[in-house]
Amino acid sequence: MDLTPREFSQIYLMPKESVQHAGQELVELPQAQDVPVRFDWNDKGAVTPVYDQGQCGSCWAFSATEAIESQWFLAGHSLVSLSPQQIVDCDKGRGDLGCNGGDTPTAYEYVMAQGGMDTMTSYPYTGEDDNCAFKTASVAATIKSWTYITQNKNETEMQVKLLANGPLSICVDAASWQFYYGGVISDNTLCGNSLDHCVLITGYDDAYVDWIGETVQIWKIRNSWGADWGESGYVYVERGYDLCGVADEVTIPLIN
């Protein structure tokens, strides 16, 4: 919190132009039929522990990695921590720049072209740009494609597809998150729509009671700034208003 906004942005966020909105057709995905009041994929064992990207603008690689981890598990495999460092080091030629930022769609494209992802154990995270050390023998998960979840910023559609298909990768405006320590972000004057950070929606709550006793609809969003940040590594954002740009770039990798 003692960083200036510029220092915070340079250390933890990405340049605004990193998110490119790549042109990809929307794939028809299953829709949930029954929508409970609250849901979290953590409760289904489909989410790995919160990571810490350190002083490296690699959130885009973490968001893509976390989404792939969950989809791989939901496809019937063991939950395994994959290597965002592989994407940071090896994803070249698609406009992605390692610790200087990137985008989740191009990260998926890299994983598809490379033939999969190594485990975190075989390719540990260093938080720095380094030479590519991808090992084909250590591939633990693969994807076949990816898709946007919504093209019209429809958060109801996001909700039903989250339920039916798994956690959603999103990119947001996180400039105001420097001072977040808990509770619900519900003020649209605090969050803009200049996307500079990528994260993962794991759940929602339609009846969350905030600190002043009001009931609000929220997204539960996993960050990559360590488990001691925010709500044990998560941030709660009010749903239905595209706060922080949560509905502007929503993607999911496809295993089959």
Active site residue 171: no
HEC string of 111-179? HHHHCCEEECCCCCCCCCCCCCCCCHHHEEECCCEEEECCCCCCHHHHHHHHHHHCCEEEEECCHHHHH
Kindly give the pairing relationship between strand 184-185 and strand 234-238: parallel
* Under 8 Å between Cβ of 141 and 117: yes
Active site residue 100: no
Per the residue annotation, which of 90, 165, 198, 223 is the catalytic one? 223
Task: Tell me if residue 249 falls in helix, strand or coil.
Answer: coil
Backbone dihedral angles phi then psi of residue 168, each to the nearest 5 degrees: -115, 130
Active site residue 197: yes
* Under 8 Å between Cβ of 191 and 221: no
- Report the distance separating Cα 152 and Cα 155, nearest Å: 9
Type of residue at 196? D
- The strand ranges marked E within 12-95 are 38-40
Per the residue annotation, which of 56, 197, 198, 244 is the catalytic one? 197
Chain Cα centroid distance, residue 72: 15
Per the residue annotation, which of 59, 90, 191, 244 is the catalytic one? 59
- Report the distance separating Cα 117 and Cα 135, nearest Å: 9
Catalytic sites, residue numbers = 59, 197, 223
